[in-house]
Amino acid sequence: MFVATLLTNPNRPVLDRVTVESLRNAWGGGDAVWLDPGVAAEFSVAAMPVNRWDVWQGLQGIGVDLVVQRAEGRRKKLLIADMDSTMIEQECIDELADEAGVGAYVAGITARAMNGELDFEDALRERVGLLKGLPATVIAQVVRDRITLMSGGPQLLATMKANGAHAALVSGGFTAFTSAIAGMLGFDENRANILLIEDNKLTGQVAEPILGRAAKVTALEEISTRLGISIADAIAVGDGANDLGMLGLAGAGVALHAKPAVAAQCDLRVNHGDLTALLYMQGYSREEFVA
């Protein structure tokens, strides 16, 4: 048995009953259940619809996301999340680069690396090199003044943790940021790269080995093993090419507002909803959300 979930941006609740019922009837699905009126609804289907992606493409045009997944085991025990452009709205290295006066150049490299056009590790070394000499105090300033949480993140963390899930923030960014964001959102642990600092200034280097795509897969495997759960019990979320390994391995891998080349390789794609989409996909209703 499968479940089809339709959802949209909670700030623009455009999902209507006609859209939901029309698709349910076309696919011969079970009764529609509204998880949040105007925002999210679901219904069961006996098999994976052969025209899933054609329907998905049509719904994208009206601002609606469609996810079809197996019904069994969709409530997860582990959330493993990317940070930059996933749990926060920014790319931390781009914000640091802006402070160093090389923002536009570094942002261009970041975009290409996240789309899989450049080797992640080499691109990170190049970008960090351009930060050499930046006062370490700038990191705290960037966290305070430039970083904003992605919509729906607090509800996602609070709700999953209230239902017994473990949460890990695993980033190709830096521990100076993940530790702060993990504290704000309530992650149980965080992993990231370490910016090297001497005399209270960035050295332009990052500690080796660099946490990239393979390290995120390792984190998923290690944390699952430590918790005594299967990787099928994990839901992973990310947007960049370095997330593809963990997105493909986890029981549910969600490409959230992802780069086109990344989204194309993922079955679970959210382009319009926010992070609460991960709760709707697990069958949580708005009434079950923890503030």
What positions carry a catalytic annotation? 82, 84
CB atoms within 10 A of CB 148: 8
Beta strand residue intervals within the chain, DSSP E: 2-8, 33-36, 40-45, 64-70, 78-81, 166-174, 189-193, 195-198, 201-206, 234-238, 252-256, 268-270
**Residue 278 in contact with residue 237, Cβ under 8 Å?**
yes
Question: Residue 20, CB half-sphere, CA atoms under 13 Å: how many?
Answer: 25
Q: Is 79 strand, coil or helix?
A: strand
Q: Which of 155, 167, 185 is nearest to 290 (CA)?
A: 155
Task: List CB contacts of 72: < 8 A, sequence separation 6 or more.
Answer: 1
